Every structure is written in structure tokens, then in C-alpha cells.
Amino acid sequence: MRKIYTALTCFLFLFLTFCSQPERAPEEVRVRLAADPETLSPVSYSNAGALQIVNLLFQSLLSTDLGTDEIKPFLAEEMPTIERQDSITLYTYTIREEAEWTNGSPVTAVDVAFTLKVAKAPLLNNESLKPQLEFIQDIRIDSDNPRRFTFVCSGYASEMELLTGDFFILPAYLYDPENLLQHIQVSALSGDISELENDKKLKTFAAKYNSPNFGRDPKLLQGSGGYTLENWENGKYLTLTRKRDWWGNNTSNTQHLTAIPQRVSFQVIPDITTALLALKNRQIDVLESIPTAEFKQLKQQSAFLKDYALHTPDAYEFVYAGINTRQPKLSDKRTRQAIAYLLDAKSAMKVTQDNYATQTAGLIPPSVSEFYNNSIQPYSLDLAKAANLLRAAGWQQEQEGWFKIISGKKEQLTINVIYRAGSISYENAANILQQNASQIGIPVQVQGMESSLLSSKSKQHDFDLFFRSLGGNPFVFNFKPLLHTAYANEGGLNYTGFGTHESDRILDKVNGTVTSRQEMASLLKRLQEIMHEEAAFIPMYYIKERIAIHRRFTNAKISGLKPNYDVSAFTLKVEE
């Protein structure tokens, strides 16, 4: 009965989803999206799915060409010129002459300055972007060329070149038609900016900008990219339409600037079983994160392989466990270390990833040997070590479990685990932890939940332990928003509360004052040692992505970088 009910539910979901949206265009690409984005704000998006969509709507000065995995100019005419002057570094850019907004007006340095204000000002939802740009102290706009400008940056680090260009540029005309931020200078947004919190115009702008509408309204989500948001049906789909006369089509020698498919439709299908059914029924063109067992089955199905190509790029994405250090029962690092010895990353990796993953002891990919600390041994299953660590942390084992006097009250060690529902990887990791912990008498409750609720609980620190994944790249290693104590307050991205004086110092240096790759390597390896010892943010394994793409499209640009393909480059195959 359960199997019949599940299959019927999946069928009805697919029927209602695909029948309620516009008729499929000839060049339309349909991509599965695991969760509805909370927001498509180019400044405060919160997951990889949202980022993929934002990438089609907005552009940055520099970005990665997934066809070559190289950093190339996008909005910028060329890579910046760099001039070092004592304690500052100058990065000068010129925006492409052809670059324009949806209304036909040119993208200028004023838009770049406006974006910096949004990214650095107080009161705004910019917690994830602000730390990445704090080294930019000012912007100087060329009085003779409105498309030319110079960033004034404190210190120097090799990563700064990419960081100065790797953020989405916002249209000032559309986001601030009343010029509420015009009176604020970028130079005033460094150092102590507390006085600006009483600025009336900034308050007015913040009230509008922080509203959900700024991350959902198609009239506002219009950037310099090749697409506009046509429809967004919550929990069902998002449809993007190619601009008729996009400026990127008029540039020369810029094959990485693409907007080829007429329409890109993102189908919101949280359940992987339902997504696989849609794939097998040829209702979607792209499916990523295919479970290992199903991926192996698809590789053996000749009829399926006739229509779809399967890809397995090495991804810069890892699965990790986050432990809430603010919980009194989890504040002792020995307790957290004990839990780390119960995670059993090898089993979790084997069950859901098979040979499509690599265990890691740090948040740096093991393939990046220059920065990965291979002297650290990953946590492995060890019940005896876990029990000894609990005793060392003051826990006493009784018949009902482990107990400790905390703030004068006898408390039992229990663990509530949360993760995104629909993810087999997280679900299996949670179940494995539950089984291992039960062997030494620790009750573990597991709960899969919808993405927005998971995000809300994470930001409010309402959890004991969660499983999440994090994507990165081999170019920049700025983990400050995730690990610095300055971002550990409620609403910040440091959900676990991880951080020591030394780790904060390392993160500050990595984010702006490193002068050589040797120094960077030394700092990152030490950071991994601290993280391993503190056992709050525990990397488990890096994945090898598993993707299916319909063969009617070519030029997919398969890459290890998220989203592991470039849907804007998909080209409809010409029938012979």
C-alpha cells in the first residue's frame, strides 16, 4: 500500500507541476531545483540553487568560465590593473562599453559604487557579502570616463584580484530611484559606522531593501545578465526568459558570455524519488546530485543513455556536521570531539556516495595539496574514544544515559539532529550517528525539514547538530563569514558559534593581509588544526557530482565548480 501511495503521490505532483506552467518552448531547458529559494537577492541569496538563478539575472565584473575553469572578465572589459602603494593596493577596472541594464541604460561606475554601499552599509541584509568586501576602503570614479574606476584596498593579498570583481553589480536606477544612498560615501563605510544607523535616508532605504519583495519581485530582479524572471510559482517552478537584444550578444572574443536557451525553467522538486521519475519520463533535462545506486542503474540503461549523458566532475563541495557550541551541554570541546567519533564519515560516505566521494579532515579540498593539512587524521568511528572523552568532559554514564551537572542542574546528554528533508546524504548521516550513539547510550532524535525552516533554525541557533553541505572554489579561501566570532550572533552565518582568538586572527589575515602563498598555506593548515580540535564545524567528505543532461543539448561546460555546468551555454543540437 505504501509503495502504491508514494508512486501515486509522485505522479500527481509531477502532473500538477508541469500542467500548471507555460507551454514548453522549443529551446527551453528544464532543471530540477531541490528547494524553493528563500530569496534571489544578489546580496543575500543563501544557497547554491538561488546562486545559479541569480547568475543568469545579474553579473559581476569577473567570474569563472566553466568551460575552462579560468577567471575571466564579464562586466569588466579586461582584468584589472594592480598598483601597490605602501599599505594600500589600487585595482582599476573599466566596464565594457556594450554593458547595459534591462532598460537600455549603461552599466557605470556609479552602479559599482552603489553596490558597495549596499554591501557595506549597516541595517541591510548583507551579512554574507560584507566580510568579503571589507578590505575595499573606497572607490575612485574617473571624471573623464564614467565606466572607469579604481578600488582603494587595504593591504595586499593575491586573492584580492578575484574578490574585487566577484560580486554582483546592482542597478542603482532600479534599486534606489529616490537616491537615498547618494549622500553616503563608500569611504565612510569602513571602520566605525555606528553613527550611520541613525541616518534617516538609510533607514528608509533599509526598510524597503530588507523586505521580502526585493528578493522576489520580477520587476526588481533585473540585472545585466541575459535573462529576466518571467514567472515564480512558489513550490512549483521559476521560469527565466532570454532577453531579446541582450548586450552580451554584441561583444567579440567573449565566448564565455552566453544566453543561448530561449527559456530556462527551474522545477522545484524537493523529493529525489520524484525528481528521478521526472527525469526518466523526460520531463526535465538536467538533474544533479543523483543518488549513487540510482546513478549506477542509469549507467546500465541503454534506452536512457540514448537520451541522456551522465557526468561525474570532481566537485568543490563537502558535507559537514555543525555542532551548536552555545548549548551548555555541547560547550566543552571534548563532548563535541566525542560526537565527532560517532559520525562515522566513512560509512556515511560509502552508503550514499560509494566511490563518488573523498573523505576529508579539513574544509580545504584534499586535491588542493598546497593548502590541505594532510597531517590531520579525519575523525573515524571509535566508541571507546567517544566514551572516554565524555568522561573527561565530566559526564557520568548511568543506566538511562549520560548525565552531568550543568549550572546546578542535572542534565542528560541528548542530541537533536536537523537536516534538509529530501537529501539522502544528510538523512543517512543522521541515521548512522543515531545508531552509533545508541550503542553508548546517547539518545539522538533526527528531523528532516523544509529548507526555509532549516535556515531559520540555523540562524536562530535552535539546534544541537545539523548536516549541511558547502560549495567553494580553488581560487578563494575566505571562510570568515562562516567561522569568525564576529558573525556568530543570531542571524549571522557562523551558526555553530565556532571561534577562538587565534582562529579569528587567522581569518582576518587570510581575508586581507597575506603576502605570499606560503603564508596562506601556513595559516590555512593551522586553521584546519584548530577546527579539528574544537570539533564544532566538522568536514566529513568532498563529493564527486553526478549529473544527467539531455543529449539534445551540447556545450554543457561540465566543471567541478558549482553548478557544475553552464545552462546559459546549452545549445540545441541540430538534427542531421
Q: What cell does 227 get?
A: 535573462
Residues in the chain: 576
CA dist., res. 554 & res. 157, Å (int): 38
pLDDT of residue 230: 96
Grid cell, residue 450, equals 523544509
Instruction: Name residue 183's beta-bridge partners.
Output: none
* 564's grid cell: 557544475
Phi, psi of 343 (to 5 degrees): -70, -40
Q: Which residues contact 214 (CB under 8 A, 6 or more apart)?
A: 39, 41, 175, 208, 220
Tell me what pLDDT residue 422 has: 85
Handedness of CA 479, 485, 487, 493 (dihedral sign): positive
pLDDT at 6: 43
> What burial letters (b/e) apply to 404-422, b meaning 16+ CB within 10 Å?
beeeeeeeebebbbbbbbb
pLDDT of 576 = 56
- Strand, coil or helix: 539: strand
CA distance 235 to 279: 18
Amino acid at 46: S
Q: What is the pLDDT of residue 261?
A: 97
Cα–Cα dist 26/141, whole Å: 44
Taking the domain 317-544, which CATH number applies? 3.10.105.10
**What confidence score (pLDDT) does residue 2 get?**
35
What is the phi/psi pair of residue 438, to 5°? -65, -25
Q: Which top CATH class is 62-173?
A: alpha beta
Q: What is the pLDDT of residue 22?
A: 62
| pLDDT reported for residue 511 | 78
Give pTM, 2 decimals.
0.81
Question: What does the block give as the cell for 540?
Answer: 566529513
- Laid out side by side, the sheet with 401-406 consists of 396-398, 401-406, 409-412
Task: Using DSSP, state whether 394 is helix, strand or coil.
Answer: coil
pLDDT given for residue 575 in this prediction: 67
Residue type, 395: W
CB-CB contact of 43 with 205 (8 Å): no
Distances (CA, A) of 527 to 51, 76, 447, 524, 530: 27, 34, 31, 5, 5
Instruction: Please name the fold of domain 2-58+225-313+545-572.
Output: D-Maltodextrin-Binding Protein; domain 2 (3.40.190)
- Predicted pLDDT at 157: 80
Q: How would you write the pLDDT of the chain (576 residues) with one tens digit per residue?
A: 333 344 444 445 555 555 556 666 678 999 999 999 999 999 999 888 999 999 999 999 999 999 999 999 999 999 999 999 999 999 999 999 999 999 999 999 999 999 999 999 999 999 889 989 999 999 999 999 999 999 999 988 878 899 999 999 999 999 999 999 999 999 999 988 989 999 999 999 999 999 999 999 999 999 999 999 999 999 999 999 999 999 999 887 788 999 999 999 999 999 999 999 999 999 999 999 999 999 999 999 999 999 999 999 989 999 999 999 999 999 999 999 999 999 999 999 999 898 899 999 999 999 899 999 999 999 999 999 999 999 999 999 999 999 999 999 999 999 999 999 988 899 999 999 999 999 999 999 999 999 889 999 999 999 999 999 998 888 888 899 999 999 999 989 999 999 999 999 999 988 777 778 899 999 999 999 999 999 999 999 999 999 999 999 999 999 999 999 999 999 999 765
C-alpha Rg value of the chain to the nearest Å: 24
Tell me the three state secondary structure of residue 272: helix
Backbone phi, then psi, for 170, in 5-degree steps?
A: -100, 145
Give pLDDT, residue 478: 82
Cβ neighbors of 552 (< 8 A, separation 6 or more) are 285, 307, 572, 573
The residues, ordered by sequence, that sit 6+ positions from 153 with a Cβ below 8 Å of its Cβ are: 88, 89, 90, 91, 135, 136, 137, 160, 164, 512
- Domain locations in the chain? 2-58+225-313+545-572, 62-173, 317-544
